[in-house]
Amino acid sequence: MIRLLLIFILTSAIAITVSASSQPVATIETADMVVVNGKIYQKNPALAHNTTMAVLNGNIVHIGNASTIKTWIGTSTQVLNAEGLSVYPGFIDTHVHVFEGASEIGADCELDPALTLRQQIPLLQECAEYLNTPSQWLIGYGYQLDALLSGNTPFSPRNVLDELFPANPVIIMEESSHSMWVNSRALQLAGINAASEHPVGGRLMYETGSNTLNGILFDNAGDMVMELAWNAQQRVMQRSYNGLLAGLAALAENGITTAGDGRLYWRRGWYQVWQRALVEEELSARVALRPWIYPELPIAKQIAKLQQMQSTPSNSLLFSNQVKLYVDGVLHFGTAKVDRAYDWSWQNNLPKGLYYIAPAELGQWLKALNNIGYGAHIHAVGDKAISVALDAIGQERKANNKQLFSLTHLEMLAKKDVPKFNAFNVHADFQAGAVFFAEHSWAKDYIGRSRAKKLLPMRDAYNSGANITFSSDWTVNDLNPLIAIANSLRERKKQGLPDFEQALDAATINGAKALGIEHLTGSLDVGKSADFVLLSDDISRLNPRQIEQTDILMTVLAGKIVFEAE
């Protein structure tokens, strides 16, 4: 059990009345919750002595000491005795796949990313046990393409699935979600064959030296088939809802009180699932929903639906003021858009990667989105993609577009583009908690040793004045925000942020700025939402290893306990 004392005073009085006669002369409103005996983290060193905090109607109304808190405690006040533990602002993850991270859909068939194609066969045979009808889609997860196709295997990925699942359509998502492994039945239902063109933002893969599809689909080619599979699932809305609640619980367990949704596939009914969680008061985090821009559909076919989902930040726990837009793919599949050709790539006749949305169309999208109140959270990995995205935003700034823009991933950020983040007011989002944050050798085969060494130049972006945010991209990386803070400190003399305070800001207030809600949350200040965490130690005094081992003991959102460790 955690070392916390939570006292519930159950009588009904809600005010202290001071009276010199039978008539009241003053009424002091008391708090719904107070925290006592805590170490309340505030950036101002002059406030470091504060040990108490009062919460009323979900907001912080007082921060002080043992003597100043007394008047806030009434007969119905919930008193939380922190017993000397540290109280920090709730963490903000600006790019996390809450909906997909813990989804029931796909959980019936999990592969091992380290295994070859032949070695995956016993796991696939186990997956067959979950199929009930010949037409039922099987959705799986967890292969890694390098391992799957290693050893000059004579097997075709598509043929392996065809032999195991001759009637059922099958789709299996790779770890990063940027490729899918499908069988012939799935291709047939999607209308894809050897004569098909590569779809916008995607690629089809063929057997070596032939025009026979091998069952591997990259980027949007795979997304389009996954949409068919998802929408065909049995009890899809209820299972989606169950997955969402599990994802929200995972956020709370990791001290995350605010999240920027990684993407909302609105043609899969995900918006309605989120709205159900709001109506049923099951939200345990404040979430910025980001509707997906479908690269294969024209603007005119999407803009009306996007407008229906748009909402500005308010007291609601759900809002939608940015879309999710991909400019390119990923380096390890050769689909990130690069300025100089890849040294090696999975893609034939695609030396510099691809665009999901071409530069000319990107500018049109940003204009159309501005007209309905949307900014954009933009996936950009390759140096060419990053440059194109920043320049498109720069043009919009010249036209007085004041929407929120952020770029995420930023693996190949070129020096010439670094100043544009500050100049164009674009937030720079990094997955500092990734295992590859400081270790870039994985990329040398694709882009060469010289370019690989320069990946993820977060410190350069910080030095230029950019607002740096941390995100997990969960489940690609660990959800725990303390890992990002620790990694940044490990690299503080290289690509990390210079000190603890800046790393904490990247995991809290900077994220609030990027989401347009710094007036609501991101720091422990009077007037802001009571979003905070209780930690087992004071992470400002710890080394990186100790920071990432610190326990989240309690998470509070708007004055409501949403997680408490056992």
Domain ranges of the chain: 5-84, 106-231, 260-521
Do residues 456 and 430 make contact, with C-beta atoms less than 8 angstroms apart?
Answer: yes
Task: Give me the pLDDT at residue 151, please.
Answer: 67
* 503 pLDDT higher than 50: yes
| 134 to 126, 131, 169, 267, 416: CA distances (angstroms) | 16, 8, 9, 25, 55
Best mean pLDDT range from 6-20, 21-35, 455-469: 455-469
Place 554 in a pLDDT band, splitting at 50, 70 and 90: very high
Task: Flag the least confident range among 96-100, 308-312, 462-466.
Answer: 96-100
> Hey, is 243 helix, strand or coil?
helix
What is the topology classification, in CATH, of domain 260-521? TIM Barrel (3.20.20)
Average pLDDT of span 237-241: 94
Q: Does domain 5-84 have CATH number 1.10.760.10?
A: no
Task: Give me the pLDDT at residue 153, please.
Answer: 67
Average pLDDT of span 481-502: 97
Residue given tokens 């690509």 in the structure block: 495
DSSP annotation of 529 reads: B
| 548 to 110, 112, 544: CA distances (angstroms) | 28, 26, 6
Q: What is the DSSP string of 36-101?
A: ES-EE--SSGGGTT--EEEEETTEEEEEE-TTTTGGG--TT-EEEE-TT-EEEEPEEEEEE-HHHH
Give pLDDT tens digits for 154-204.
Answer: 779 999 999 999 999 999 999 889 999 999 999 999 999 999 999 999 999
DSSP bridge partners of 483: none
- Phi–psi pair at 523, nearest 5 degrees: -155, 160
* 20 pLDDT higher than 60: no
> What CATH number is given for 106-231 in this structure?
3.10.310.70
Task: Give me the pLDDT at residue 163, please.
Answer: 96
